[in-house]
Copies of this chain bind each other. A is one copy, B any other.
Amino acid sequence: MTIDLLVSEVGPRDGLQSIESIMPLAAKKAWISAEAAAGVSEIEVGSFVPAKILPQLADTAEVVAHARTVPGLTVAVLVPNLRGAQDAVAAGAHKITVPLSVSETHSLKNVRRTHAQMLEEVRAIVELIRSQPEGRRPKFEGGLSTAFGCTLEGPIPADKVVELAGRLMDCGCDEVGLSDTTGYANPSQVKDLVRRVRAEVGEEAFAGLHLHNTRGLGLANVVAGLEVGVTTFDSSLGGLGGCPFAPGASGNIVTEDLVFMLESMGLSTGIDLPRLLEVRRIVAEAVPGEELYGFTPDAGLPLGFAPAGRKADAA
């Protein structure tokens, strides 16, 4: 079966970092294995940050080690700096993303670094990666956060996003993605910004969209992304997560609803939706105090629902 679109699960990183509960290592492993078995082929499994800042992700090295044993899975991690990248490379992550907040105010508040300092860090990470033996070099994405607006600065000029996308590529990133950290994005803006950033970095170097559902527009923004040819979308199982540093900004788009929408549209994700829905149980049991979101899990699949693959077979 051909995959039309990549759904990249970020729950074990973005979801877990923003809740108070700490998920036990065994549950993280079970979650990742079960979701990969349901057909999810890329998972951001953690973040290499000091345990005192995010104790929820303190076991990321062990999570990466487990995830690397799952056949066919791309194991992604987030790193805030060179130190984190060193850990990620040592752990054997397949993909590293460093976030760069387009809002410098947010960057200073979040990681206490200016744009210039962050780009310096990015260059150092590129050097680190290039110094690795071939076959051990992770893919390196620059993730532009607060790209659609910031709770501290307000509107973010598109020109600034495009400029920083270009500078990330100049520093040696393999690709650049756009994050709606604050849930400010709207469909027109998504189309416009994706077009502009892609024109700047090139079609192949556009990593995809990381969208939040803060104001209910998450899937509407996915549709806008599809209209301009975006093929990779981040999401979080049960909508777990958000940005702990952007007040009021919560909620990644829900993997279950995203997969339901794409498969309904005849776009194959390679994911078995009934099996994906079962993975919720693992998460719910492991962090019982935390709320899980999603409309499709509540409403159930439509009568006679045919996923993309089955539609293609019938056609």
Is A170's CB within 8 Å of the partner chain B?
A: no
Which residues on the B side are within 8 Å of A31 (C-beta)? none
* A residues 250-308 in Cβ contact with B at 8 Å: 254, 257, 260-261, 264-266, 294-296, 299-300, 302-304, 306
Report Cα–Cα, A299/B243, bound state, in Å: 14
A182 to chain B, nearest CB (A): 7
Q: Which residues of B contact A299 (CB under 8 A)?
A: 183, 214-215, 248-249
Asked if A32 is at the interface of the complex by the 8 Å CB criterion, the answer is no
Which of A75-83, A107-115, A116-124, A186-194 binds B?
A186-194
Contact A295 B223 (CB under 8 A): no
Q: For the side of the interface on A, what is the size category?
A: 35 or more
Measured between C-beta atoms, what is the minimum distance from A206 to chain B in Å? Answer: 20
Question: Which of A89-97, A149-157, A161-169 contacts its partner?
Answer: A149-157
Flag A24-57 by CB within 8 Å of B: 1 or 0 each.
0000000000000000000000000000000000
Tell me the bound Cα distance from A303 to B266 in angstroms: 37
- Which of B149, B150, B187, B296 is the one whose CB lies under 8 Å from A216? B296
Q: Provide the residues of chain B in CB contact with A224, threshold 8 Å.
A: 223
Q: A217-B257, A257-B215, A295-B216 are in contact. Are A184 and B302 (CB under 8 A)?
A: yes
- What is the minimal beta-carbon distance from A18 to any residue of chain B, in angstroms? 15
Nearest neighbor of A249 in chain B, beta-carbon distance: B299
Q: Is the CB of A261 within 8 A of B186?
A: yes
Specify which chain B residues have a CB less than 8 angstroms from the CB of A260 in the assembled complex. Answer: 215-217
* A101 contacts the other chain (CB 8 A): no
Q: Bound state CA distance, A294 and B215, in angstroms? A: 8
On whether the beta carbons of A264 and B296 are closer than 8 Å, the reply is: no
A264/B186 contact (C-beta < 8 A), A213-B295, A216-B257 known: yes
Q: Does A222 contact B219, Cβ atoms closer than 8 Å?
A: no
Which chain B residues lie closer than 8 Å to A226 at the CB level? 187
Query: A65 in the interface, Cβ–Cβ < 8 Å?
Result: no
Q: Which single residue of chain B is at the shortest CB-CB distance from A214?
A: B299
Chain B residue at minimum C-beta to C-beta distance from A267: B188
Tell whether A303 pairs with B220 under 8 Å between CB atoms, given A265-B188, A296-B215.
no
List 9 additional contacts besides A216-B257, A217-B257, A220-B223; criterion CB under 8 Å: A150-B303, A154-B303, A155-B306, A213-B295, A215-B296, A215-B302, A216-B260, A216-B261, A217-B264
